[in-house]
Each structure stands twice: as structure tokens, then as C-alpha cells.
């Protein structure tokens, strides 16, 4: 599969796939991309016209080992070693007259005619069989398509001050749990974390580690000595609980609580959600300070939730009511998704393309005398067309289907002629 981006050239008497834009064997291109990083390499080769799509095509050629079909190999690749029949290090040595290792002049002599050079004995034993460049290509391709994950990114609040409900943790016992709460908050656009008398003090580096990059939530979190101070500037607060309380307060689902907070925040009020201790939850006195109770639907025989899970559920209910959430992550090369069928780079087939396929299929089925009895032909065709319409075929898929039908019809012709 050669193209304007990849051509086959002779390198050391071997047919080798090369990158047209930079005149390099593909293995060296993959090696540099893997070692140098996406940003550095794309900047380096931008002047050569290697944009994202060309980069993608070059990597796909290696990642899918299309070289096997083209019967070519790259220098330094394990496929070349396999083609040469080197199953062991002894096979490799036997094919070489001399293998030099390091700068000290050490060498290994064999019975062949070639020479080879390695940085040292360790490099020789690691590299004699060649590199699995196709795995390197897959790794780079993943980064190219999905972006590079960086743990040092701090992030930023999803909304302005007071535009999201505050999360209040009462006497959290483990810093790790605080970090996981911060991560859950960042996932769903909650920014304001308030801690009431955290057992292990604040700030706490263990919380930062557990936050897995949600550093801005950790950095802006505030610790208070008592609940009254933590919710002093809030107008409306709900308390999460799994236990029924003998208090005359509204009991809301997460969705109902979010709806109430959305209205109040829209009116300029500030709201908060109160969460209790990992071991015992909120006391009745603390719940009494809230304006409403929030109870999450759970298995009646096992109602206790992890602290971060509780925050996650309320956060999920919150972002469902917003317009700013997306399905999955969005990176440099991943666009926001909406629910429904995803066509990617392909496009749905046009009705003209579908009808062309139907007519070809029905013509060949007629030739094969498929429609029996004849009076049911119309209803059978209707069923076939309905079935294929339901699959939401793309342009590429319709072309593939037409090719399949054509190949089957062609395969049948010699047998029919020999009758």
C-alpha cells in the first residue's frame, strides 16, 4: 500500500518503506516520533508538510503492519530479523563476520559476511532481534489521536464564584478521600470544596496525590473549625444522608436537589451540599442545620456509600442539568460528542448509493432465482431493504457490500458455465 506519503526504496539492498516528505525509512520516522514526543516532532516536520492526517497515515501503515502485504521491511525492525530467519542470537552471529560492541574495540566474530555495531553488550543482547516498531507506532498513534495526558496540569474552575454549589465535608477522616472527592468534583464541574475540621489537618499532600490532577480544587479548598463557619455565607444547604431522620424537612432526590439549587443560584443565592464522616455520616444535629435532606436511591440492604461516590452522584446530577458537559473527554484531537451514532471521518451513505446497492443485490438474487415463490418477491425485497436501511450504513460500508455481492456473483459464474 504505497501512496504519495510512503514509497518503497532500496536501503542496504532491502526494499524499505520510506517517508516521502523527509526521505527517511519509516522505522526511523516512528523511532523519532516515539522518542521526541508529538509536539516536538510535529513542529520539526511541519515545514515538510506532515500535518496530523499525514502523520496518522504514516503511523497506521506501521501500526497495522501493512509492510507484510507490500513485502517490505525496515532497518532495525524485528520483522526484518524474522524475514532473515534469525530465531536465536547464535543465528544472528553466524550471519555476521564481525559484531563490534562499545567503544573499547570488543567484537564478536561469526562466519558470515556482514558487520554490525552496538553501543555495548547490553545493547547487543537487547537489540539483535530488532525493535517491534509497530507497537511504538500504536503508542504514538494513540497520543496523536487522543492527546497526551499530563499529570501536572492544574485545570481551572468550570464556572464563576458562587455559580456552582459548594461541597462541604464534615470532619473527613482520610486525606485520600478528600483527594478523591476533589477529583469527582472536577469531573462534574464543581469547584468550591470546604472542609470542616479534617482529622489529618490541611493542607495535605496525600489529598493532592489522590486528586489525580484536580489540583485547582485542592489548591482552592478551605478548612474551617466548625460547620457554622463553613456555611456562613450560603443561603441554602442540603444534607446527604442514608438514614431517615425525624425532622420536618423536605426529602429530595439528587435531581430534585439540583433543580432547587439551579433556581436559587439563578436568583443570585449561594448553595451548598453537606457530606458526613466516612464512618458515621452526619449527626442529627448537623442535618438539622440544613434546609433539605438529599437521599440517593440505593439497595435497601446495603445503603452506605463511599464519600467520593456520594459526591460523584450529586456531581453527575449537577452536570446533567448543565449545557457544558460532554460525553467522555475532550483533548487536542477529540471533539465533544453528542448522544447517537458516531460516523467519525466517514459519512452516511446517500439514498442514491443505497438504492444502487439494492438494485445490484436484487438483480443478482433474481439471477440466482432467490425470489420463490414469485408472488412474494415484493414483500421479500421490502424486508431486505428495511434490514439494510436499519444498519445506518456509511459510504465505505455500502462500497464494501457492493464489492461482496459482485465477488459472490463472479465466483458463481464458472460453476454455472461448467454445468
Distances (CA, A) of 415 to 259, 365, 405: 70, 16, 16
Q: How confident is the model at residue 383 (pLDDT cuts 50, 70, 90)?
A: very high
Q: Would you state the torsion angle of the CA atoms of residues 213, 214, 217, 221, taken in this order, to the nearest 10 degrees?
A: -50
What is the three-class DSSP state of 218? helix
**pLDDT score of 324:** 53
Does the structure show a pLDDT above 50 at 151?
Answer: no
Cβ atoms of 93 and 75 within 8 Å: the answer is no
Percent residues over pLDDT 90 in the chain: 33
Cβ atoms of 76 and 129 within 8 Å: the answer is no
CA 44 – CA 30 distance, rounded (Å): 14
Strand ranges, E, within 278-368: 292-294
CA 293 – CA 279 distance, rounded (Å): 19
The region of weakest confidence among 9-23, 94-108, 307-321 is: 94-108
Describe the chain by its helix, strand, coil percentages, rounded to 5.
45, 15, 40
CA 330 – CA 326 distance, rounded (Å): 8
What is the three-class DSSP state of 9? strand
Segment (H or E) for 109: strand 106-109
CA 195 – CA 171 distance, rounded (Å): 7
Does the structure show a pLDDT above 60 at 231?
Answer: yes
Q: Which parts of 4-117 fold into alpha helices (H)?
A: 26-36, 38-44, 52-63, 67-70, 78-84, 89-94
**pLDDT score of 419:** 45
Does the structure show a pLDDT above 70 at 327?
Answer: no
What is the three-class DSSP state of 313? helix
The region of weakest confidence among 39-48, 244-253, 267-276, 288-297 is: 39-48
Mean pLDDT of the chain: 83
Segment (H or E) for 142: helix 133-146
> What value does the mean pLDDT take over residues 298-307?
85
Q: Other CB atoms closer than 10 Å to residue 86's CB: what's the count?
A: 19
CA 351 – CA 395 distance, rounded (Å): 10
Cβ atoms of 313 and 253 within 8 Å: the answer is no
Does the structure show a pLDDT above 80 at 285?
Answer: yes
Distances (CA, A) of 10 to 15, 74, 75, 108, 117: 5, 10, 11, 28, 21
CA 395 – CA 413 distance, rounded (Å): 28
Q: Other CB atoms closer than 10 Å to residue 365's CB: what's the count?
A: 17
Tell me which residue of 317, 415, 403, 320 sits closest to 356, measured CA to CA: 403
**pLDDT score of 142:** 76
Does the structure show a pLDDT above 50 at 150?
Answer: no
Cβ atoms of 307 and 199 within 8 Å: the answer is no
The region of weakest confidence among 50-54, 198-202, 238-242, 354-358 is: 50-54
Cβ atoms of 208 and 218 within 8 Å: the answer is yes
CA 373 – CA 344 distance, rounded (Å): 42
In total, the chain counts a number of residues equal to: 419
- Could you give all domains of the chain from N- to C-terminal order, each with its CATH number? 6-146 (no CATH), 166-320 (3.40.1280.10), 351-417 (1.10.8)
Residues 342-367 have pLDDT tens digits of 556 668 888 899 999 999 999 999 98
Tell me which residue of 49, 52, 75, 77 sits closest to 63, measured CA to CA: 77
> What value does the mean pLDDT take over residues 379-402?
90
Amino acid at each position: 500500500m504505497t501512496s504519495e506519503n510512503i514509497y518503497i526504496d532500496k536501503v542496504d539492498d532491502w526494499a524499505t518503506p520510506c517517508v516521502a516528505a523527509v526521505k527517511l525509512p519509516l522505522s526511523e520516522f516512528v523511532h523519532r516520533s516515539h522518542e521526541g514526543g508529538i509536539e516536538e516532532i510535529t513542529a520539526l516536520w511541519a515545514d515538510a508538510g506532515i500535518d496530523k492526517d499525514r502523520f496518522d497515515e504514516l503511523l497506521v501503515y506501521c501500526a497495522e503492519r501493512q509492510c507484510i502485504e507490500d513485502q517490505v521491511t525496515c532497518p532495525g525492525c524485528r520483522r526484518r530479523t524474522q524475514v532473515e530467519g534469525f530465531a536465536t542470537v547464535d543465528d544472528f552471529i553466524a550471519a555476521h563476520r564481525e559484531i563490534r560492541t562499545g567503544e573499547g574495540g570488543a567484537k564478536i566474530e561469526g562466519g558470515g559476511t556482514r558487520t554490525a555495531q552496538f553501543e555495548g553488550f547490553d545493547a547487543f543482547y537487547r537489540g539483535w532481534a530488532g525493535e517491534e516498531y509497530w507497537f511504538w507506532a500504536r503508542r504514538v498513534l494513540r497520543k496523536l489521536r487522543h492527546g497526551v495526558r499530563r499529570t501536572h496540569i492544574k485545570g481551572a474552575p468550570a464556572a464563576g464564584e458562587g455559580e456552582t454549589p459548594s461541597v462541604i465535608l464534615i470532619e473527613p477522616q482520610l486525606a485520600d478521600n478528600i483527594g478523591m472527592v476533589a477529583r469527582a468534583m472536577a469531573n462534574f464541574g464543581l469547584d468550591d470544596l470546604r472542609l470542616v475540621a479534617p482529622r489529618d489537618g490541611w493542607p495535605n499532600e496525600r489529598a493532592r496525590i489522590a486528586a489525580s490532577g484536580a489540583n485547582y480544587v485542592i489548591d482552592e479548598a478551605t478548612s474551617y473549625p466548625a460547620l457554622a463557619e463553613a456555611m456562613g455565607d450560603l443561603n441554602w444547604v442540603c444534607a446527604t444522608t442514608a438514614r431517615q431522620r425525624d425532622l420536618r424537612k423536605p426529602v429530595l432526590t439528587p435531581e430534585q436537589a439540583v433543580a432547587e439549587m439551579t433556581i436559587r443560584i439563578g436568583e443570585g443565592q449561594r448553595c451548598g451540599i453537606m457530606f458526613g464522616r466516612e464512618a458515621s455520616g452526619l449527626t442529627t444535629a448537623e442535618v438539622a442545620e440544613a434546609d433539605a435532606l438529599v437521599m440517593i436511591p440505593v439497595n435497601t440492604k446495603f445503603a452506605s456509600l463511599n464519600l467520593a461516590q456520594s459526591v460523584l452522584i450529586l456531581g453527575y446530577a449537577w452536570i446533567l442539568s448543565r449545557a457544558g458537559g460532554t460525553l467522555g473527554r475532550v483533548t487536542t484531537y477529540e471533539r465533544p460528542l453528542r448522544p447517537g451514532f458516531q460516523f467519525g471521518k466517514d459519512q452516511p451513505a446517500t439514498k442514491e448509493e443505497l438504492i444502487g446497492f439494492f438494485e445490484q443485490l436484487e438483480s443478482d438474487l433474481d439471477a440466482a432465482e432467490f425470489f420463490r415463490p414469485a408472488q412474494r418477491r415484493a414483500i421479500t425485497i421490502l424486508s431486505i431493504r428495511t434490514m439494510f436501511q436499519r444498519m445506518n450504513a456509511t459510504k465505505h460500508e455500502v462500497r464494501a457490500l457492493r464489492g461482496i455481492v459482485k465477488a459472490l456473483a463472479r465466483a458463481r459464474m464458472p460453476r454455472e458455465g461448467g454445468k
